[in-house]
Structure 1
Amino acid sequence: MKDVGGTDRARALPISKDVLMPTFLSTRLPRLAWDAASWVIAAGMVTGVANWHLSAHQWVVVGSYVLAACVLQVLVGLALKLYLGRYRFATFDENVGLAVATGLVGLALAIFSLSVHGLESVAVAVSVLCPPLALLSMVLGRGAYRARHDRERPPAPSCERVVVYGAGDAGSQLVRLIAEDRSVGYHVVGLVDDDRLKRHLVIHGCRVIGTGTQLVERAREAGATIVILAIPSAGAELVRRVSDEVSAAGLKFLTLPPLREMIARPVQLGDVRDLDIADLLGRRQVDTDVERIADHLAGRRVLITGAGGSIGSELARQVHLFGPASLIMLDRDESGLHGVQLSIYGHALLDTPDVVLCDIRDEEALRTVFATHRPEVVFHAAALKHLPMLEQYPDEGWKTNVLGTRNVLRLAAEFGVERFVNISTDKAADAKSVLGMTKRLAERLTAWFAEHHEGTFVSVRFGNVLGSRGSVLHTFREQIARGGPVTVTDPAVTRYFMTIPEACELVIQAAAIGHDGEVLVLDMGEPVRIVDVARRMIAQSGRDVKIVFTGMRPGEKLHEDLFSPVEHHSRSEHPAIEVVDVPSIDPAHLSTARGDLSLLRLAPEPAEERHAEVPLSA
Structure 2
Amino acid sequence: MSYSKRLALLVGMDSLIVLFSVYVGYYFLNPYFGIFTSKMLLISSITLLITHHIFSFIYRLYHKVWSYASIGEVIAIVKVVSFSIISAAIVQSVVLGNIYVRVLFLTWLLHICLIGGSRFSWRLSRDKLVKSSIVKENTLIVGAGAAGTMLVRHLLKNHDHELQPVAFVDDDLNKHKLDIYGTPVVGSTNDIPEIVERYRIKHIILAIPSLNKHRMQTIYQQCSKTNATTKIVPMLEDIITGKVSVQQFRDVQVEDLLGRDPVELDTQSISEKLSNKTVLVTGAGGSIGSEICRQVSKFKPKRLLLLGHGENSIYTIDMELRNTIDKNIEIIPIIADVQDRERIQQVMDDYQPDVVYHAAAHKHVPLMEYNPKEAVKNNIIGTKNVAEAADLAQVTTFVLVSTDKAVNPTNVMGSTKRIAEMIIQDIDKRSNTKFVAVRFGNVLGSRGSVIPLFKKQIKAGGPLTVTHPEMTRYFMTIPEASRLVLQAGTLAQGGEIFVLDMGQPVKIVDLATNLINLSGYSLEEIGIKYSGMRPGEKMYEELLDRDEIIGEAIFPKILVGRSLQIDFAKITYLIDNYILLNDKKIREYVLEIANKRSSETVSLTN
**TM class by shorter-chain length?**
0.7 to 0.9
Partner of 2:421: 443
Residues 593 and 259 (structure 1), Cα distance of their counterparts in 2 relative to 1, 3 Å cut: farther
1:226 to 2:203 alignment: yes
Q: 1:551 aligns with which of 523, 526, 532?
A: 532
SS at the partner of 2:429?
helix
What residue is the counterpart of 1:578 in the other structure? 559
2:293 alignment counterpart: 316
1: distance between equivalents of 2:55 and 2:473? 70
Residue 541 of structure 1: which of 521, 524, 538 is its match? 521
**1:256 and 2:232 correspond:** yes
Q: Does 1:423 align with 2:423?
A: no
Judge which range, 222-231 or 532-541, deviates more: 532-541
Give CA deviations for 1:146-171 in whole Å, capped at 9, x if unaligned: 35533555777831111110233433
Q: TM-score, normalised by structure 1?
A: 0.74
Q: In structure 2, do the counterparts of structure 1 residues 361 and 31 end up closer, same or farther at CA, with 3 Å as the change threshold?
A: farther
For the 8 Å contact 2:131–2:159, the answer to whether it is kept is no
CA distance in 2 between counterparts of 1:401 and 1:40 reads: 85
5+ residue gaps, structure 1, are 1-22, 606-618
Q: Return 5+ residue gaps in structure 2 as ranges.
A: 31-35, 100-104, 592-606
2:493 equivalent in structure 1: 515
CA apart distance, 1:184: 1.7
1:301 paired residue number: 278
Task: Report if the CA contact (8 A) 2:66-2:122 is conserved.
Answer: no
Distance 1:343 1:261 in 2: 27
Using a 3 Å threshold, how does the CA distance of structure 1 residues 602 and 368 change in structure 2: closer, same or farther? closer
Q: Does 1:33 align with 2:9?
A: yes
Match of 1:564 in 2: 545
Amino acid at match of 1:571: E
Is the 1:422–1:458 Cα contact (8 Å) retained in structure 2?
yes
Aligned equivalents of 1:416 and 1:395: distance in 2?
Answer: 30
Given residue 601 of structure 1, which amino acid in structure 2 is its aligned partner?
A: R
Tell me the secondary structure at the aligned position of residue 63 of structure 1.
helix
RMSD of aligned Cα (Å): 4.9
Alignment correspondent of 1:396 = 374
Alignment CA distance shift 1:207-1:598 (3 Å) = same
Cα gap change, 1:319 to 1:168, in 2 (>3 Å): farther
Question: Displacement, 1:40?
Answer: 7.5
Match for 1:355 among 305, 312, 333?
333
SS in 2 for 1:570: coil
Alpha-carbon contact 1:479-1:486 (below 8 Å) kept: yes
Farther off after superposition, 370-379 or 43-52: 43-52
Q: Measure, in 1, the Cα distance between the counterparts of 2:317 and 2:387.
A: 24
Say which is worse superposed, 590-599 or 387-396, in terms of deviation: 590-599
Distance 1:262 1:74, change over 3 A: closer
Q: Is the 1:288–1:509 Cα contact (8 Å) retained in structure 2? A: yes
CA-to-partner distance for each residue in 1:234-255, whole Å, 9 max, x for gaps? Answer: 344434433332343x441312
CA shift digits 1:550-588 (9 cap, x unpaired) = 333332212212122432242323342211112376988
* 1:492 counterpart residue number: 470
Quote the residue 1:246 is aligned against. 223
Residue in 1 aligned with 2:600? none
Aligned to 1:354, what secondary structure does the other structure show? strand
Residue 352 and residue 213 in structure 1: after superposition, are their counterparts in 2 closer, same or farther (change >3 A)?
same
Tell me how far apart the structure 2 counterparts of residues 298 and 198 of structure 1 sit (CA, whole Å).
Answer: 49
> Secondary structure, in 3 states, of the residue corresponding to 1:475?
helix
Tell me how far apart the structure 2 counterparts of residues 481 and 91 of structure 1 sit (CA, whole Å). Answer: 46
Letter in 2 for 1:541: Y
**2: CA distance, partners of 1:137 / 1:557:** 77
Q: 1:88-128, CA deviations, whole angstroms, 9 ceiling, x for partnerless residues?
A: 963789969989x99xxx99xx9xxx9xx9x9579xx9xxx
Q: Over alpha carbons, which structure has the higher Rg?
A: 2
Helix, strand or coil for the counterpart of 2:279? strand
Alpha-carbon shift at residue 400 of structure 1 (Å):
2.0
1:178 corresponds to which residue? 155
- Give 2:359's aligned residue: 381
CA contact (8 A) 1:256 1:271 kept: yes
Residue deviations 1:21-64 (CA, integer Å, cap 9, x gap):
xx537xx8446633675587679889999989588599569737
Residue 340 of structure 1: aligned partner: 317
Distance 2:237 2:412 in 1: 35
State the percentage of identical aligned residues.
32
Residue 480 of structure 1 corresponds to which residue in structure 2? 458
Q: CA deviation at 1:388?
A: 1.7
Instruction: Evaluate the alpha carbon distance shift between residue 331 and residue 584 of structure 1 in structure 2; reply closer, same or farther with a 3 A threshold.
Output: farther
Q: Is the 8 A contact 1:282 1:499 kept in 2?
A: no
1:409 is displaced (CA, Å) by: 2.2
Q: Which amino acid aligns with 2:540?
A: H
2:356 partner SS: strand
1:524 to 502, 506, 511: 502
Which residue in the other structure is 2:594 paired with?
A: none
Q: How many Å separate the matches in 1 of 2:151 and 2:121?
A: 22
Paired residue for 1:616?
Answer: none
Structure 1 residue matching 2:353: 3-state secondary structure: coil
Is the CA contact (8 Å cut-off) linking 2:353 and 2:395 kept in structure 1?
Answer: yes
- Structure 1 residues 246 and 271: alpha-carbon distance in aligned structure 2, compared to 1, 3 A threshold: closer
Query: Does the 8 Å contact 1:387/1:433 carry over to 2?
Result: yes
1:190–1:486: structure 2 CA closer, same or farther, 3 Å change rule? closer
CA distance in 2, matches of 1:302, 1:203: 53
Given residue 360 of structure 1, which amino acid in structure 2 is its aligned partner?
Answer: V
2 CA distance for matches of 1:516 and 1:96? 65
Deviations 1:46-88 (A, max 9, x none): 999998958859956973784597499779979xx948xxx79
Matched, 1:464 2:442: yes
2:402 match: secondary structure: strand
- The two structures have a TM-score, normalised by structure 2, of 0.75
Secondary structure of residue in 1 paired with 2:301: coil
1:13-412 matched pairs, under 5 angstroms: 23-24=1-2, 29-30=5-6, 33-34=9-10, 37=13, 59=42, 63=46, 66=49, 70=53, 82=63, 90=68, 142=119, 145-147=122-124, 149-151=126-128, 158-199=135-176, 203-248=180-225, 250-256=226-232, 265-273=243-251, 275-281=252-258, 284-346=261-323, 353-412=331-390
Distance 1:47 1:361, change over 3 A: farther
Q: Distance in 2 between matches of 1:372 and 1:138?
A: 76
**Paired residue for 1:601, among 571, 587, 604?**
587
Instruction: Look up the match of 2:483.
Output: 505
| CA shift digits 1:377-423 (9 cap, x unpaired) | 33222211111222222222222222222233233333443333221
Pair 1:199–1:503, CA change in 2 (3 A): farther
- 1:63 maps to a residue whose letter is I
Kindly state the Cα deviation for residue 134 of structure 1 after the two structures are TM-superposed.
Answer: 10
Q: What amino acid does structure 1 have at the position aligned with 2:521?
A: S
State the secondary structure of the residue aligned to 1:541.
coil
Task: Report the counterpart of residue 596 of structure 2 in structure 1.
Answer: none
Does the Cα contact within 8 Å between 2:501 and 2:557 map onto a contact in 1?
yes
1:433 is matched with 411
Q: Deviations over 1:506-565 (max 9, x none)?
A: 333333334322111112232223234334545653464454443333322122121224
Task: Compute the displacement of 1:219 (Å).
Answer: 4.0
CA distance, structure 1, for counterparts of residue 182 and residue 25 of structure 2? 36
Change in 2 beyond 3 A, CA 1:219/1:546: closer
Aligned length: 563
**Deviation digits for residues 306-355 of structure 1, max 9, x if unmatched?**
2221112222223333333443333223332343345545479x997433
User: Residues of 1 paired with 2:22 and 2:293: CA distance?
Assistant: 64
The residue type equivalent to 1:184 in the other structure is H
- Contact map agreement 1:401 1:439 (CA 8 A) in 2: yes
* Cα distance change on mapping 1:370 and 1:388 into 2, 3 Å: same
- Is contact 1:433–1:602 with CA below 8 Å preserved after alignment? no
